[in-house]
Amino acid sequence: MSEQTLRQWLLSETPTSRRHARAAAFYKGWLSFRGNSMAMIGLGILIALLLIAAFAPLLSPYDPFVQDLGNRLKPLGTEGHILGTDSLGRDILSRLIHGSRITLYIVALVALIAPVAGLLIGTVAGFAGGWTDTILMRITDIFLAFPRLVLALAFVAALGAGIENAVLAISLTAWPPYARIARAETLTIRASDYISAIRLQGAGPLRIITKHIWPLCISSLIVRVTLDMAGIILAAAGLGFLGLGAQPPSPEWGAMISEGRRFILDHWWVATMPGLAIFTVSLAFNLLGDGLRDVLDPKDAGK
């Protein structure tokens, strides 16, 4: 199949199979996404981040943990240390490169835990209705009404400092909006004719929820997760900055800012560089999220 015919096949108005229809819908979504240059920039930054994290040992010029006290606090552009060195003579560029792994690790874990928990709670509440719905939504409302960062602080205080506990604390405060969205979607889907049709065919609640409700909740959840990613990165960096997330000598970006804070007036680059990294990545997630919303959820576009 030549490229031209592949394109025509993808843009066909009359798909011949289910897979064809899916491929066509995906391709059309991609075309509209590609037209959004800001979203493409965001996507590009994130792909670059993935590559940097994957090849961190090859890309970083130095070991991120090796101290070199003779070369401490070297400024930007020093021979061999483009982004300078920190108070223990460690190469800042190498630490940033290795820190990208920690950022991705945190983001991936929270993105797995919180939406899945929200999806479960929301669909069960919406599908079951009655008391189950009332109780689950009351719990959701309670968690929604909490101050997130302060609650995450209290959780970490109880669980002990560390990356995994920070992830847990952020997830515990992040799931309620997903539950709300999933419940709202479930309520509209539940009443539709095709669900009645499946039910008449003898499908049980488990099958209806997993095969027919979840797939339809996914796209609004993906948009919300992508838009929330920036907030999650900022929260994780904040916990790291307060000394409650990743522990030294780990090259976590928030913890690096905290280390550099003491020298901010004389050696500004030590705290500035990791901050720029955090900013770039969360900006990329925001751009990508905006673009995805326009593609997957056209009714909210432009708001």
33-38 own/partner pairs: CB under 8 Å, 24+ apart: 33/291, 33/292, 33/294, 33/295, 36/290, 36/291, 36/294, 38/287, 38/290, 38/291
What's the gap between Cα 198 and its chain centre? 34
**Candidate residues 136, 230, 288, 295; the one interacting with another protein per rule CB under 8 A:** 230
CA distance 100 to 258: 17
Residue 35 is encoded by which pair of tokens? Answer: 């037209």
CB of 114 to another protein, least distance (A): 17
Binding segment (CB under 8 A) for another protein, from list 25-33, 62-70, 100-108, 143-151: 143-151
State the number of binding residues for another protein (CB under 8 A): 46
Identified binder of another protein from the candidate list 119, 186, 241, 291, rule CB under 8 A: 241
Whose Cβ is closer to another protein: residue 208's or residue 239's? Answer: 239
x/- map, 13-52, another protein, by CB under 8 A: ----------------------------------------
Q: Does 100 bind another protein (CB under 8 A)?
A: no
73 counts as binding another protein under rule CB under 8 A = no
Check residue 254 for interaction with another protein (CB under 8 A). Answer: yes
Helix H, strand E, coil C: the string for 220-280 is HHHHHHHHHHHHHHHHHHHHHHCCCCCCCCCCCHHHHHHHHHCCCCCCCHHHHHHHHHHHH
- Per-residue CA distances from 112 to 141, 226, 292, 296 (Å): 22, 12, 19, 20
User: Of residues 8, 261, 298, 301, which one binds another protein by CB under 8 A?
Assistant: 261
Contact residues toward another protein (CB under 8 A) are: 138-139, 141-143, 145-151, 153-160, 230, 234, 237-238, 241-244, 254, 257, 261, 264-265, 268, 271-272, 275, 278-279, 282-283, 285-287, 302-303
